[in-house]
Structure 1
Amino acid sequence: MKTLTPATVDQVTSTNNKFTNTSTSDFALHHKYLLAICRQCLQRCTATQNDCSLSELIKPREKLDSVLYCYRACFVTLQKKNKLRGCIGSLQASRPLIEDLIHNTCAAALHDNRFDAVQHQEITQIDIHISILTEPVKMNYYSEQDLLKQLKQGVDGLILSEGSNRATYLPTVWQQHPNKLKFIQQLKLKAGLPIDYWSDTIECKNYQCENIRDNIN
Protein backbone atom coordinates (compact mmCIF):
# COMPACT_ATOMS: atom_id res chain seq x y z
CA MET A 1 0.00 0.00 0.00
CA LYS A 2 1.33 3.40 -0.91
CA THR A 3 1.74 5.90 1.89
CA LEU A 4 -0.49 8.95 1.79
CA THR A 5 1.72 11.79 0.70
CA PRO A 6 1.49 15.45 -0.19
CA ALA A 7 3.83 16.68 -2.90
CA THR A 8 6.95 16.20 -0.84
CA VAL A 9 5.83 14.05 2.07
CA ASP A 10 6.36 10.30 2.26
CA GLN A 11 5.24 9.51 5.80
CA VAL A 12 1.73 10.09 7.11
CA THR A 13 -0.21 8.49 9.94
CA SER A 14 -3.93 7.99 9.45
CA THR A 15 -6.55 6.52 11.78
CA ASN A 16 -10.31 6.64 12.21
CA ASN A 17 -10.48 7.78 15.82
CA LYS A 18 -12.83 10.47 17.12
CA PHE A 19 -12.67 14.00 15.79
CA THR A 20 -13.58 17.07 17.80
CA ASN A 21 -15.60 19.55 15.78
CA THR A 22 -13.72 22.82 16.16
CA SER A 23 -13.33 25.50 13.53
CA THR A 24 -9.91 26.68 12.44
CA SER A 25 -10.67 30.09 13.95
CA ASP A 26 -10.59 28.46 17.40
CA PHE A 27 -6.79 28.30 17.11
CA ALA A 28 -6.21 31.88 15.98
CA LEU A 29 -5.28 33.06 19.48
CA HIS A 30 -2.82 30.20 19.93
CA HIS A 31 -0.59 30.52 16.87
CA LYS A 32 2.38 31.95 18.77
CA TYR A 33 2.06 29.36 21.52
CA LEU A 34 1.90 26.44 19.07
CA LEU A 35 4.97 27.73 17.25
CA ALA A 36 6.79 28.18 20.56
CA ILE A 37 6.02 24.60 21.61
CA CYS A 38 7.10 23.37 18.20
CA ARG A 39 10.35 25.32 18.49
CA GLN A 40 11.02 24.01 22.02
CA CYS A 41 10.34 20.49 20.83
CA LEU A 42 12.76 20.95 17.94
CA GLN A 43 15.46 22.22 20.28
CA ARG A 44 15.06 19.33 22.72
CA CYS A 45 14.76 16.46 20.26
CA THR A 46 17.70 17.61 18.14
CA ALA A 47 19.86 18.06 21.24
CA THR A 48 19.18 14.50 22.42
CA GLN A 49 18.40 12.93 19.02
CA ASN A 50 15.42 11.33 20.73
CA ASP A 51 11.69 12.00 20.65
CA CYS A 52 10.29 14.18 23.41
CA SER A 53 6.90 14.09 25.09
CA LEU A 54 4.22 16.51 26.21
CA SER A 55 5.28 16.15 29.85
CA GLU A 56 8.81 17.26 28.98
CA LEU A 57 7.60 20.51 27.40
CA ILE A 58 4.58 21.48 29.51
CA LYS A 59 5.06 22.31 33.17
CA PRO A 60 2.93 20.17 35.54
CA ARG A 61 0.88 23.15 36.75
CA GLU A 62 0.70 24.90 33.41
CA LYS A 63 -2.91 25.13 32.27
CA LEU A 64 -3.58 25.12 28.55
CA ASP A 65 -6.72 26.24 26.79
CA SER A 66 -8.99 23.23 26.30
CA VAL A 67 -9.03 23.85 22.54
CA LEU A 68 -5.41 22.64 22.37
CA TYR A 69 -6.55 19.27 23.72
CA CYS A 70 -9.25 18.75 21.11
CA TYR A 71 -8.60 15.98 18.62
CA ARG A 72 -7.12 17.53 15.47
CA ALA A 73 -4.57 16.33 12.94
CA CYS A 74 -1.63 18.40 11.79
CA PHE A 75 1.44 18.44 9.58
CA VAL A 76 4.79 19.90 10.56
CA THR A 77 7.08 21.05 7.76
CA LEU A 78 10.69 22.07 8.38
CA GLN A 79 12.58 24.14 5.84
CA LYS A 80 16.20 25.22 5.71
CA LYS A 81 17.12 28.03 3.33
CA ASN A 82 13.74 27.58 1.61
CA LYS A 83 14.40 23.89 0.98
CA LEU A 84 12.52 21.02 2.57
CA ARG A 85 14.34 19.55 5.58
CA GLY A 86 11.58 17.30 6.90
CA CYS A 87 7.81 16.94 6.82
CA ILE A 88 5.58 14.52 8.71
CA GLY A 89 1.89 14.69 9.50
CA SER A 90 -1.42 13.05 10.26
CA LEU A 91 -4.45 13.15 7.99
CA GLN A 92 -7.05 12.22 10.57
CA ALA A 93 -7.29 13.07 14.24
CA SER A 94 -6.09 10.32 16.57
CA ARG A 95 -4.97 12.38 19.60
CA PRO A 96 -5.13 15.91 21.03
CA LEU A 97 -3.67 18.58 18.75
CA ILE A 98 -0.90 19.51 21.19
CA GLU A 99 0.26 15.87 21.30
CA ASP A 100 0.03 15.46 17.53
CA LEU A 101 2.09 18.62 17.09
CA ILE A 102 4.88 17.38 19.37
CA HIS A 103 4.88 13.92 17.81
CA ASN A 104 5.04 15.25 14.25
CA THR A 105 7.72 17.83 15.08
CA CYS A 106 9.99 15.09 16.42
CA ALA A 107 9.16 12.86 13.47
CA ALA A 108 9.85 15.59 10.90
CA ALA A 109 13.19 16.40 12.54
CA LEU A 110 14.42 12.87 13.24
CA HIS A 111 12.43 10.29 11.27
CA ASP A 112 11.77 11.58 7.76
CA ASN A 113 13.69 8.87 5.92
CA ARG A 114 14.42 11.12 2.95
CA PHE A 115 16.83 13.17 5.07
CA ASP A 116 19.47 12.79 7.74
CA ALA A 117 18.20 13.75 11.18
CA VAL A 118 18.23 17.49 11.87
CA GLN A 119 21.22 18.41 14.02
CA HIS A 120 21.03 20.80 16.96
CA GLN A 121 23.37 23.31 15.32
CA GLU A 122 20.96 23.61 12.38
CA ILE A 123 17.89 24.78 14.27
CA THR A 124 18.67 28.50 14.01
CA GLN A 125 18.35 28.04 10.24
CA ILE A 126 15.12 26.04 10.36
CA ASP A 127 11.75 27.61 9.51
CA ILE A 128 8.62 25.89 10.83
CA HIS A 129 5.28 25.55 9.08
CA ILE A 130 2.31 24.00 10.92
CA SER A 131 -0.82 22.93 9.05
CA ILE A 132 -3.90 22.14 11.17
CA LEU A 133 -6.32 20.01 9.19
CA THR A 134 -10.08 19.85 9.16
CA GLU A 135 -11.67 16.41 9.05
CA PRO A 136 -11.47 14.90 5.53
CA VAL A 137 -14.90 14.67 3.88
CA LYS A 138 -15.80 12.21 1.14
CA MET A 139 -16.72 13.99 -2.08
CA ASN A 140 -19.62 12.92 -4.30
CA TYR A 141 -19.12 13.29 -8.07
CA TYR A 142 -20.09 11.44 -11.23
CA SER A 143 -16.99 12.12 -13.36
CA GLU A 144 -13.52 13.61 -13.26
CA GLN A 145 -14.89 16.82 -14.73
CA ASP A 146 -17.47 17.01 -11.96
CA LEU A 147 -14.71 16.49 -9.39
CA LEU A 148 -12.73 19.34 -10.95
CA LYS A 149 -15.76 21.64 -10.75
CA GLN A 150 -16.24 20.91 -7.05
CA LEU A 151 -12.58 21.22 -6.09
CA LYS A 152 -11.79 24.60 -4.52
CA GLN A 153 -8.58 25.89 -6.04
CA GLY A 154 -6.08 27.13 -3.48
CA VAL A 155 -8.31 25.99 -0.60
CA ASP A 156 -8.81 22.23 -0.67
CA GLY A 157 -6.35 19.53 0.22
CA LEU A 158 -7.23 16.24 -1.45
CA ILE A 159 -6.84 12.54 -0.63
CA LEU A 160 -7.18 10.30 -3.68
CA SER A 161 -7.63 6.54 -3.24
CA GLU A 162 -7.98 3.69 -5.72
CA GLY A 163 -7.62 0.27 -4.13
CA SER A 164 -4.24 0.18 -2.39
CA ASN A 165 -3.02 3.28 -4.26
CA ARG A 166 -3.40 6.44 -2.21
CA ALA A 167 -1.86 9.90 -2.04
CA THR A 168 -2.66 13.37 -0.77
CA TYR A 169 -1.78 16.94 -1.59
CA LEU A 170 -1.97 19.62 1.09
CA PRO A 171 -3.61 22.91 0.04
CA THR A 172 -0.15 24.50 -0.16
CA VAL A 173 0.58 22.34 -3.23
CA TRP A 174 -1.71 24.62 -5.25
CA GLN A 175 1.27 26.98 -5.29
CA GLN A 176 3.12 24.40 -7.40
CA HIS A 177 0.13 23.24 -9.45
CA PRO A 178 -2.41 26.11 -9.70
CA ASN A 179 -4.32 24.41 -12.52
CA LYS A 180 -7.06 22.05 -11.28
CA LEU A 181 -6.47 19.39 -13.93
CA LYS A 182 -2.71 19.46 -13.38
CA PHE A 183 -3.29 19.22 -9.62
CA ILE A 184 -5.36 16.04 -10.06
CA GLN A 185 -3.04 14.55 -12.67
CA GLN A 186 0.05 15.02 -10.51
CA LEU A 187 -1.78 13.59 -7.50
CA LYS A 188 -2.67 10.49 -9.52
CA LEU A 189 0.98 10.08 -10.48
CA LYS A 190 1.94 10.43 -6.83
CA ALA A 191 -0.52 7.64 -6.01
CA GLY A 192 1.10 5.42 -8.63
CA LEU A 193 -1.68 5.77 -11.20
CA PRO A 194 -1.40 6.85 -14.86
CA ILE A 195 -1.95 10.54 -15.45
CA ASP A 196 -5.08 9.87 -17.56
CA TYR A 197 -6.48 7.15 -15.28
CA TRP A 198 -10.09 7.33 -14.16
CA SER A 199 -12.63 4.85 -12.83
CA ASP A 200 -15.93 4.92 -10.97
CA THR A 201 -14.21 3.46 -7.90
CA ILE A 202 -11.79 6.34 -7.31
CA GLU A 203 -12.52 7.91 -3.93
CA CYS A 204 -11.60 11.49 -3.09
CA LYS A 205 -11.81 13.30 0.23
CA ASN A 206 -11.20 17.01 0.63
CA TYR A 207 -10.04 18.95 3.66
CA GLN A 208 -8.77 22.42 4.50
CA CYS A 209 -5.86 23.68 6.57
CA GLU A 210 -5.09 26.49 8.96
CA ASN A 211 -1.50 27.44 8.23
CA ILE A 212 0.90 28.81 10.84
CA ARG A 213 4.39 29.90 9.84
CA ASP A 214 7.52 30.72 11.79
CA ASN A 215 9.88 32.26 9.26
CA ILE A 216 13.03 33.20 11.15
CA ASN A 217 15.30 33.32 8.11
Structure 2
Amino acid sequence: MLDKVLLQIAKSAILNKLDKNYTFDENSILKEYPYLKKNGAVFVTLKYNKELRGCIGSIIAHRTLFDDLNHNAVSAGFSDPRFNSLTKQEFSSLNIEVSLLSEPKILEYTDYEDLLQKIRPNIDGLILKHSRFSGTFLPQVWEQLPTPSLFLEHLSMKAGATKSIYNEHPTIYTYQVEHIQEDFDEILCL
Protein backbone atom coordinates (compact mmCIF):
# COMPACT_ATOMS: atom_id res chain seq x y z
CA MET A 1 0.00 0.00 0.00
CA LEU A 2 1.28 3.43 -0.89
CA ASP A 3 2.37 5.79 1.85
CA LYS A 4 0.20 8.86 2.56
CA VAL A 5 3.38 10.94 2.41
CA LEU A 6 2.98 10.86 -1.39
CA LEU A 7 -0.33 12.72 -1.03
CA GLN A 8 1.30 15.15 1.41
CA ILE A 9 4.15 15.88 -1.01
CA ALA A 10 1.74 16.44 -3.89
CA LYS A 11 -0.44 18.80 -1.82
CA SER A 12 2.60 20.66 -0.50
CA ALA A 13 4.03 21.09 -4.02
CA ILE A 14 0.74 22.60 -5.23
CA LEU A 15 0.46 24.87 -2.17
CA ASN A 16 4.04 26.05 -2.75
CA LYS A 17 3.06 27.07 -6.29
CA LEU A 18 -0.02 28.93 -5.03
CA ASP A 19 1.78 30.59 -2.10
CA LYS A 20 5.52 31.24 -2.42
CA ASN A 21 5.69 31.85 1.35
CA TYR A 22 4.90 28.16 1.92
CA THR A 23 7.92 25.85 1.74
CA PHE A 24 8.72 22.33 2.85
CA ASP A 25 12.04 20.69 3.67
CA GLU A 26 12.96 18.26 0.89
CA ASN A 27 16.07 17.00 2.71
CA SER A 28 14.10 16.03 5.83
CA ILE A 29 11.49 14.24 3.74
CA LEU A 30 14.12 12.30 1.78
CA LYS A 31 15.92 11.37 4.99
CA GLU A 32 12.72 10.06 6.58
CA TYR A 33 11.48 8.33 3.40
CA PRO A 34 14.56 7.12 1.49
CA TYR A 35 12.48 5.20 -1.08
CA LEU A 36 11.61 8.60 -2.58
CA LYS A 37 15.21 8.82 -3.88
CA LYS A 38 14.66 5.86 -6.22
CA ASN A 39 13.41 6.45 -9.74
CA GLY A 40 9.66 6.23 -10.10
CA ALA A 41 6.85 7.13 -12.49
CA VAL A 42 3.67 8.66 -11.09
CA PHE A 43 0.46 10.23 -12.30
CA VAL A 44 -1.22 12.89 -10.20
CA THR A 45 -4.97 13.27 -10.74
CA LEU A 46 -6.92 16.21 -9.33
CA LYS A 47 -10.71 16.36 -9.10
CA TYR A 48 -12.90 19.30 -8.12
CA ASN A 49 -16.57 18.64 -7.34
CA LYS A 50 -15.97 15.04 -8.48
CA GLU A 51 -14.96 16.25 -11.97
CA LEU A 52 -11.50 15.91 -13.46
CA ARG A 53 -9.50 19.09 -12.78
CA GLY A 54 -6.05 17.98 -13.95
CA CYS A 55 -4.07 14.83 -14.62
CA ILE A 56 -0.39 14.73 -15.52
CA GLY A 57 2.10 11.93 -15.16
CA SER A 58 5.08 9.99 -16.34
CA ILE A 59 4.88 6.65 -18.10
CA ILE A 60 8.55 5.76 -17.65
CA ALA A 61 10.60 6.28 -14.48
CA HIS A 62 13.22 8.85 -15.51
CA ARG A 63 13.84 10.80 -12.29
CA THR A 64 13.48 10.25 -8.55
CA LEU A 65 10.04 9.47 -7.24
CA PHE A 66 10.17 12.67 -5.17
CA ASP A 67 11.01 14.83 -8.20
CA ASP A 68 8.47 13.11 -10.45
CA LEU A 69 5.73 13.51 -7.85
CA ASN A 70 6.58 17.17 -7.24
CA HIS A 71 6.72 18.00 -10.95
CA ASN A 72 3.55 16.12 -11.88
CA ALA A 73 1.52 17.53 -8.97
CA VAL A 74 2.38 21.09 -10.00
CA SER A 75 1.78 20.27 -13.67
CA ALA A 76 -1.62 18.70 -12.91
CA GLY A 77 -2.67 21.88 -11.12
CA PHE A 78 -1.17 24.48 -13.41
CA SER A 79 -0.10 23.02 -16.77
CA ASP A 80 -2.74 20.55 -17.90
CA PRO A 81 -3.70 22.07 -21.28
CA ARG A 82 -7.34 21.03 -20.82
CA PHE A 83 -7.83 23.36 -17.83
CA ASN A 84 -7.04 26.82 -16.53
CA SER A 85 -4.51 27.06 -13.70
CA LEU A 86 -5.75 26.02 -10.29
CA THR A 87 -6.95 28.84 -8.03
CA LYS A 88 -6.64 29.31 -4.28
CA GLN A 89 -10.43 29.06 -4.02
CA GLU A 90 -10.38 25.55 -5.53
CA PHE A 91 -7.44 24.33 -3.45
CA SER A 92 -9.22 23.24 -0.27
CA SER A 93 -11.98 21.38 -2.15
CA LEU A 94 -9.80 19.18 -4.32
CA ASN A 95 -9.55 15.44 -4.29
CA ILE A 96 -6.10 14.12 -5.12
CA GLU A 97 -4.96 10.72 -6.35
CA VAL A 98 -1.39 9.54 -6.79
CA SER A 99 -0.77 6.50 -8.99
CA LEU A 100 2.60 4.76 -8.97
CA LEU A 101 3.15 2.95 -12.28
CA SER A 102 4.92 -0.32 -12.90
CA GLU A 103 7.30 -0.56 -15.84
CA PRO A 104 5.31 -0.83 -19.10
CA LYS A 105 5.59 -4.12 -20.99
CA ILE A 106 4.79 -4.78 -24.64
CA LEU A 107 1.63 -6.82 -25.11
CA GLU A 108 1.98 -9.33 -27.93
CA TYR A 109 -1.24 -9.93 -29.85
CA THR A 110 -2.21 -11.22 -33.29
CA ASP A 111 -5.27 -9.10 -34.13
CA TYR A 112 -7.94 -6.92 -32.56
CA GLU A 113 -9.95 -9.89 -31.25
CA ASP A 114 -6.83 -11.33 -29.62
CA LEU A 115 -6.08 -7.92 -28.08
CA LEU A 116 -9.60 -7.77 -26.62
CA GLN A 117 -8.98 -11.13 -24.94
CA LYS A 118 -5.54 -10.25 -23.55
CA ILE A 119 -6.20 -6.93 -21.84
CA ARG A 120 -7.34 -7.25 -18.25
CA PRO A 121 -10.15 -4.92 -17.17
CA ASN A 122 -9.57 -3.09 -13.88
CA ILE A 123 -5.96 -4.32 -13.80
CA ASP A 124 -4.13 -3.05 -16.88
CA GLY A 125 -3.38 0.47 -17.89
CA LEU A 126 -2.64 0.69 -21.61
CA ILE A 127 -0.33 2.70 -23.82
CA LEU A 128 -1.03 2.87 -27.55
CA LYS A 129 1.80 3.90 -29.89
CA HIS A 130 1.66 4.00 -33.66
CA SER A 131 3.33 6.44 -36.03
CA ARG A 132 2.42 9.91 -34.73
CA PHE A 133 -0.35 8.57 -32.47
CA SER A 134 0.20 8.00 -28.77
CA GLY A 135 -2.04 7.82 -25.71
CA THR A 136 -2.51 6.13 -22.38
CA PHE A 137 -5.27 5.29 -19.93
CA LEU A 138 -4.64 4.44 -16.28
CA PRO A 139 -6.37 1.30 -14.99
CA GLN A 140 -8.78 3.56 -13.06
CA VAL A 141 -10.36 4.55 -16.42
CA TRP A 142 -11.98 1.10 -16.51
CA GLU A 143 -14.53 2.55 -14.04
CA GLN A 144 -15.90 4.79 -16.83
CA LEU A 145 -15.15 2.46 -19.76
CA PRO A 146 -15.85 -1.03 -18.39
CA THR A 147 -15.54 -3.19 -21.54
CA PRO A 148 -12.35 -3.89 -23.48
CA SER A 149 -13.86 -2.66 -26.77
CA LEU A 150 -15.05 0.61 -25.21
CA PHE A 151 -11.71 1.10 -23.44
CA LEU A 152 -9.75 0.56 -26.68
CA GLU A 153 -12.07 2.76 -28.72
CA HIS A 154 -11.65 5.70 -26.35
CA LEU A 155 -7.91 5.09 -26.05
CA SER A 156 -7.56 5.41 -29.83
CA MET A 157 -9.53 8.69 -29.73
CA LYS A 158 -7.33 10.01 -26.92
CA ALA A 159 -4.30 9.17 -29.06
CA GLY A 160 -5.80 11.23 -31.90
CA ALA A 161 -6.77 8.26 -34.05
CA THR A 162 -9.90 6.24 -34.72
CA LYS A 163 -10.77 2.69 -33.73
CA SER A 164 -9.56 1.56 -37.15
CA ILE A 165 -5.98 2.12 -35.94
CA TYR A 166 -6.15 -1.39 -34.45
CA ASN A 167 -6.26 -2.77 -38.02
CA GLU A 168 -2.72 -1.38 -38.38
CA HIS A 169 -1.49 -3.38 -35.37
CA PRO A 170 -0.21 -0.54 -33.14
CA THR A 171 2.23 -1.26 -30.34
CA ILE A 172 0.35 -1.77 -27.08
CA TYR A 173 2.01 -1.69 -23.67
CA THR A 174 0.42 -2.70 -20.39
CA TYR A 175 1.25 -1.49 -16.90
CA GLN A 176 -0.33 -1.65 -13.48
CA VAL A 177 -0.61 0.95 -10.73
CA GLU A 178 -0.74 1.26 -6.99
CA HIS A 179 -2.81 4.28 -6.09
CA ILE A 180 -3.89 6.28 -3.09
CA GLN A 181 -6.44 9.08 -2.90
CA GLU A 182 -8.04 11.45 -0.42
CA ASP A 183 -9.77 14.79 -0.21
CA PHE A 184 -7.32 17.66 0.18
CA ASP A 185 -8.78 18.77 3.50
CA GLU A 186 -7.90 15.34 4.96
CA ILE A 187 -4.23 15.58 3.90
CA LEU A 188 -1.76 17.34 6.14
CA CYS A 189 0.86 19.49 4.46
CA LEU A 190 4.51 18.83 5.21
Q: Please give the TM-score of this superposition, normalised by the length of structure 1.
A: 0.78
Name which of 31, 40, 44 aligns with 2:3: 31
User: Aligned-pair distance for 1:143?
Assistant: 1.1
Whether 2:83 is the aligned partner of 1:147: answer no
Q: Structure 2 CA distance, aligned partners of 1:102 and 1:75?
A: 11
Contact 1:47 1:119 in 2 (8 A): no
Which residue of the partner structure matches residue 188 of structure 2?
none
Cα gap change, 1:195/1:143 in structure 2, threshold over 3 Å: closer, same or farther? same
- Tell me which of 11, 20, 41 is aligned to 2:13: 41
Distance in 1 between residues matched to 2:37 and 2:115, nearest whole Å: 34
Amino acid at match of 1:121: Q
The partner residue of 2:127 within 159, 162, 166 is: 159
Partner of 1:10: none
Shift of 1:59: 4.9
Shift of residue 61, structure 1, vs aligned partner: 4.7
| TM-superposed deviation, 1:201 | 4.0
- CA shift for structure 1 position 122: 2.1
Offset of 1:152 from its aligned partner?
Answer: 0.8
Distance in 2 between the 1:70 and 1:59 partners?
A: 14
| Cα separation, 2, equivalents of 1:194 and 1:84 | 23
Tell me which moved more, 148-157 or 196-205. 196-205
SS in 1 for 2:80: coil
The correspondence for 1:180, drawn from 144, 148, 153, is: 148
Q: What SS does structure 2 have at the residue aligned with 1:205?
A: strand
Contact 2:107 2:172 in 1 (8 A): yes
Where in structure 1 are there 5+ consecutive unaligned residues? Answer: 1-27
1:46–1:109 contact (8 Å) kept in structure 2? no
4+ residue runs of structure 1 moved beyond 6 angstroms? none
1:69-109 deviations in whole A, cap 9, x for unaligned? 21110011111111111111111111011110001111111
Number of residue pairs matched? Answer: 184
Paired position in structure 2 for 1:133: 101
Structure 1 residues 95 and 194 mapped into 2: Cα distance closer, same or farther (>3 Å)?
A: same
The one-letter amino acid paired with 1:153 is: P
TM-score when normalising by structure 2? 0.88
Query: Larger helix proportion, structure 1 or 2?
Result: 2
* Percent identical: 33
Deviation string 1:36-81 (CA, Å, 9 cap, x unpaired) is 1111112111124xxx9xxx53254551333222111001111111
AA aligned opposite 1:197? I
Query: Alignment RMSD, CA only?
Result: 2.0
